[in-house]
Amino acid sequence: MLEILVEAIWFILPAYLANGTPVILGGGPPIDGGKKFSDGNRILGNGKTFRGLISGISIGVLIGLIQTFSLGRPGGFTAAILLSIGALTADIIGSFLKRRAGIQRGSPVPGLDQLDFAIGGLLLVSPVVLPKWETTLTILLVTPLIHVGMNYISYKLNLKSEPY
Ligand code: CTP
Ligand code: MG
> Among 23, 148, 162, which residue has the most ligand 1 atoms within 8 Å of its CB, making it the best to mutate?
23
For ligand 1, residues with CB inside 6 Å are 22-23, 26-27, 45, 47-49, 52-53, 88, 91, 95, 98, 105-106
The pLDDT of residue 103 is 98
State pLDDT tens for residues 121-133. Answer: 999 999 999 999 9
Q: Which atom of ligand 1 is nearest to the CA of 26?
A: 7
Q: What is the pTM of this model?
A: 0.96
- Contact call for residues 105 and 48 (beta carbons, < 8 A): no
Q: Is the pLDDT of residue 161 over 90?
A: no
- Mean pLDDT (the chain, rounded): 97
State pLDDT tens for residues 139-156. Answer: 999 999 999 999 999 999
Residue nearest to atom 15 of ligand 1 (CA): 47
